[in-house]
Structure 1
């Protein structure tokens, strides 16, 4: 990550972040909205134009209503749920090149029983701008119009509107929010690592992983190893072995079941890889661990 840029510096430095508009979309309760938790390798700005609903994280529900603006960092799983009777309408903006630090460290609320809440605090910002429509809603609506109409020089207009929007969010937030430049390659690697951590049981391969972030697979191998000390496929193998070790130690699942749970196509393949990684066959490892 590059150096942090605080509130007072933003007026002259926001253009240095290298923001890039990826998309802007409007939704109503009648549209086919997300119903499953999902995440992106970039920031999303979410603005409620009308009505109310709920924003959902893994362990937290956040009520949303007209005028609410949310900023969600990359790789934070979320979704929005709506009740058609509440007439929710909102606009989502995908932005590359930035992330947020919403709270000073001394204001963080740490709950040891809910560690995911801390992740949310570090990667999520919400504020109602109902009485600041000229500063917040108008730039968003103009940005949506530019992208829909695609008149001459609309890309330049859109870039300026995006930067104005970010400035206005900072000027009107009155909080400890900090904007930082988000290195694209770091974000892509974090996304792949998070994807493997969640989907280790899938039949993943380098071609699929590299296509997710639009990079060459050899570039992904080199940069992933430079950052995490291992290649993506070795990281995947080790992740599967760690989960398998926990299952062998703490459950009564058959070896064949564990092999399937962690993503191996056959028990024999699982046993061979497990032996290479740990020096024990799965049943030997289970016997040793359960006898302690």
Structure 2
């Protein structure tokens, strides 16, 4: 799959000496702020999720999984996905490079990790409240608790806990004994075309008809594909994408807000402001001011 079609949600700590990122997501708002998680995206790192309250949907191009309080989830590196809240919810997302698990160059652990990481036939795995998964869930819960009780040993506590997590995870899924199941790729291919079309044409007047024509399907089939994979409509996804691009421009340029609105495809700045506030809780100007304030801290 050509990942240039999708957003690479970069680990905010990737250039530090400890590239371990924990997103604390409450009712759809991420702390620290990470706008890319609102649209289909992928990571160069691996990701585990633990649901602290409520429920969420984890969506890929091929599947949709509902998770409830106490459930967990694994997302392999390079897997295009979206975490969508379905209710009031609170979850932690743990994102880190796979070399955390390899110990040292030439380690026997390298081979074990390599059998899982990046495996196309093992993109995701739900971790639910069954006997075989309890140890994994307990370890995810411990990772969450470490965020509230940080000591000088925090990095070492995290690394040792991640090693335990990986060991218990491999035991739970029995990855080395199970055969991977092939997925139906037709809807995946169509969604790839749709999302690429939106990425290339989002500033323009994208219509359902033009989107459907990009994959040579009917308008009803286009709607079905979005409903099946993302549980949304093409229009709603287009708005989400435009808002993501606008947030990036607000942070990284000093362009006028009305110019940004027009540049990302909104014809009326009032409509842009309304949509932006609904998604972020801030007006565009407040969002920009808050970002600059955080940079000065």
TM-score by length of 2: 0.41
The structure with the largest alpha-carbon Rg is: 1
Give the number of the structure with larger relative contact order, counting CA–CA contacts within 8 Å between residues 6 or more apart: 1
